[in-house]
Structure 1
Amino acid sequence: MYSPTPDDWHEANRARWDERVPIHAASEFYDLDAFRAGKDALRDFELAEVGDVTGRSLLHLQCHIGLDTLSWARHGAARVVGLDFSEPAVDTARSLAADLGLGPDRAAFVASDVYDAAEAVPDRAYDIVYTGVGALCWLPDLDRWAEIAAALVAPGGFLYVSEFHPLADSFDDETGSTLVHDYFVRDPWVDTTPGTYADIDAPTVHNRSVEWVHPVGEVVTALAKAGLRIEFLHEHDVTLVPRYATLERHEDGYHRFPAGRPRVPLMYSLKASRPA
């Protein structure tokens, strides 16, 4: 249900994520054995849109257990830094980095709230600041996030965002065709669903979470106000999870609507640069 922001939103969300870290680390969804063996965690459109990262520094905000972060290191980034508010997630990411033979000079992880990132990360500016899917919905204040992220982009560098499209949250869960929620709502969404997207049947205790829907226009405007130049905004008709019962999983790992059905954007990506 939609409601005013609870005072304990941050503590509730962190408890939820802390509990789910070991579940995710053991899940087939993340498949850490395959990742250690070389499986890439990044999406094809992310690799194409970010481009060559060889020799560049990259900061990953809200990195969870670090698979995307470490994948950028595998693609040649000179130094990657991952930041997440969950200490168990950061511990898991550090362990994975060690398994891959990546020391802290190549891959460092910091336990910190994203709103404190400017003080928490080891460097003051990065060639690339990256935010992966499923991150922005946990933040109540997008303007503050944009200001912090923009300040961490080095001159001549850029911020890259890859996210689930907020329009997808407006449709019914069964068919994804009936509009049931207000796209422009600003109230938080309080959820108490047990389990996790990586294992829906996993027994869990900390099931309460507080999330926000941020329309794409809000994201773009916040970044522009923070002084970044929007290079592109791309919308994608695929998603990573079976958001609706009617979605079909394809061999490339994406979920899509059946052929012949009208499509809506399910993900989006954007690039915003800082002048040199």
Structure 2
Amino acid sequence: MYAPTPDDWHAANRARWDERVPIHVASDFYDLDAFRAGKDALRDFELAEVGDVTGRSLLHLQCHIGLDTLSWARHGASRVVGLDFSEPAVETARSLAADLGLTPERAAFVAADAYDAAEAVPDSSYDIVYTGGGALCWLPDLDRWAETAASLVAPGGFLYVAEFHPMSDSFDDETATRLVNDYFVREPWVDTSSGTYADLDAATTHNRSVEWVHPVGEVVTALAKAGLRIEFLHEHDMTLFPRFESLTRHEDGYYRFGTDRPRIPLMYSLKASKAA
């Protein structure tokens, strides 16, 4: 349901994520044993669009348990830093880095809010600032996020965002054919669903969350206002989980609609650079 922003939105969201960390650690969805053995957590389109990271520094905002962050290190980034507001998530990420033999100088993790990143991370700027799927919906003020992220991009560097397309939040969950929610809504979405995307049947107590829908135009405008130049905005017809019942999983691991119906964008990615 849509409602005014509750005063405890931040605490509620953090309690929800803190509780789900051990569930995610134990889940087949994240499959940490396979990750430790070398499985890549990054998506092929991200690798292609970000390009070679060898010798470059990378900051991952809202990194959760750090699989994407550490994957960038495996791909050659000289130093990766992950930031997340959940202490249990950050502790897990540090443990995984140690399991992979990565020192804190090569892979560091910081527990802090995304809005406080400029004061919390160990370096003043990074060649690449990265944020992955399912991050922006937890932030009420996108202009503040964009200003913070842009301030951390080194001259000549860039911000890369891979996100779930907000258009998908406008359609019904069953068929994805009926418009049921306003794409331009500004009020937060208050959810009370139990479980987690990594384990739908998991028993959970902290089930209240507060989320925001940010239209793509709002994201692009916020980054442009923060002084970054938009290099590209790509929309994708696939997603990472069965967001709608009518999606099917393909051999490449992505979920897509069948060829018997019109498509809508399910994810998007963008690159925004800072002048040298």
TM-score band, normalised by the shorter chain? over 0.9
Describe the superposition over 1:134-166 as per-residue Cα deviations: whole angstroms up to 9, x where unpaired.
Answer: 000000000000000000000000000000000
Residue 204 of structure 2 aligns with which residue?
204
CA distance in 1, matches of 2:100, 2:216: 36
Alpha-carbon separation, structure 2, partners of 1:110 and 1:144 = 19
Q: 1:259 offset after TM fit, Å?
A: 1.6
Taking the TM superposition and a 5 Å limit, the aligned residue runs for 1:124-273 are: 124-273=124-273
Identity of aligned residues (%): 85
Name the Cα RMSD after superposition: 0.4
Report 1:90-129 matches (<5 A).
Answer: 90-129=90-129
Counterpart position of 1:60? 60
Query: SS where residue 89 of structure 1 aligns?
Result: helix
SS in 1 for 2:234: strand
Matching residue's letter, 1:185: V
* In 1, Cα distance between equivalents of 2:118 and 2:201: 37
How many Å separate the matches in 2 of 1:251 and 1:23? 26
- For 1:224, the aligned partner's letter is A
The 4+ residue runs of structure 1 with deviation greater than 2 A are none
Gaps of 5+ in 2: none
Amino acid at match of 2:135: A
Structure 2 residue matching 1:168: 3-state secondary structure: helix
Name the CA distance, whole Å, in 1 between partners of 2:192 and 2:264: 27
- Distance in 2, Cα, partners of 1:41 & 1:269: 17
Structure 1: gaps of 5 or more residues: none
Q: How many residues align?
A: 276
State TM-score, norm by structure 1. 1.00
Query: Aligned letter for 2:227?
Result: G
Corresponding residue SS for 1:96: helix
Counterparts of residues 69-80 of structure 1 (less than 5 Å): 69-80=69-80
In 1, Cα distance between equivalents of 2:210 and 2:60: 22
Once residues 265 and 123 of structure 2 are traced to their aligned partners in structure 1, the CA distance between those partners, rounded to angstroms, is 35
Deviation track 1:110-149 (CA, whole Å, cap 9, x = no partner) reads 0000010000000000000000000000000000000000
How far did residue 68 of structure 1 move? 0.2
